[in-house]
């Protein structure tokens, strides 16, 4: 069974983005230790295993080939959804089925493996993730330790994705009811988040 794990939001300014999320949506982002490199990151932890990840380039990212793609999209689109991940319980099976390589991440509080689409579809298809501790809860628990209050109970209610429906179906090989798919090639355009006060919608490029 597949579930939405997290959504990635790329922004020109981390400070402005975090202020916007709090003021307009009541979403609190926590800067992470990974922010010391060329890409600053912050996490909005939900009250479950899902989260919103915010990315911004730092001054040390200048002229780095590894950040060139993100820099180009920020220059042309401004703030946008960079992508999203779906959680699986058998990443090896996904790699075998899709014939895509396994990637890995070994952090201080979380270890995971991923399968990503080819570069030409990277903004139109999700990537798969499996946490080696079973969930990403250890990571989110560590982040919540920096919050003065427990995060609200939130969940992804709907993701609006512009892509090739046939290629998406082949890639996922499963139903994902949270997705609303529209033919096109512009990728993730809006995200609905269910809160205690109703569903909020964050959109870019509509």
Separation between Cα atoms, residue 145 and residue 38, nearest integer Å: 25
- Whether 86 contacts 3, CB under 8 Å: yes
Q: Which residue has the tokens 């919103």?
A: 52
pLDDT digits (tens, 9 = 90+) for 99-142: 999 999 877 667 889 999 998 899 899 999 998 875 566 566 65
pLDDT digits (tens, 9 = 90+) for 62-87: 556 667 788 888 888 899 999 999 99
Q: Is CATH 1.10.3720.10 correct for 3-203?
A: no
Separation between Cα atoms, residue 131 and residue 120, nearest integer Å: 26
For the chain, which residues make up each domain, given as ranges? 3-203
pLDDT at position 30 is: 85
């Amino acid at each position: 069974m597949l579930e939405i794990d997290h959504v990635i939001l790329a922004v020109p300014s981390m400070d402005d983005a975090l202020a916007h999320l709090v003021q307009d949506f009541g979403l609190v982002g926590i800067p992470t230790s990974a922010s010391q490199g060329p890409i600053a990151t912050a996490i909005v932890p939900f009250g479950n295993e899902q989260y919103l990840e915010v990315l911004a380039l730092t001054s040390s990212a200048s002229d780095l080939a590894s950040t060139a793609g993100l820099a180009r999209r920020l220059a042309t689109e401004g703030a946008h959804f960079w992508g999203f991940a779906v959680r699986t319980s058998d990443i090896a099976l996904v790699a075998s089925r899709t014939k895509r390589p396994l990637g890995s991440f070994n952090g201080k509080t979380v270890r995971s493996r991923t399968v990503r689409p080819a570069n030409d579809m990277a903004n139109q298809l999700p990537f798969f993730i499996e946490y080696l501790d079973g969930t990403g809860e250890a990571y989110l628990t560590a982040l919540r330790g920096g919050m003065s209050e427990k995060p609200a109970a939130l969940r992804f209610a709907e993701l609006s994705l512009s892509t090739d429906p046939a290629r998406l179906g082949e890639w996922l090989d499963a139903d994902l009811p949270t997705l609303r798919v529209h033919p096109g090639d512009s990728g993730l355009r809006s995200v609905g988040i269910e809160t205690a006060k109703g569903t909020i919608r964050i959109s870019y490029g509509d």
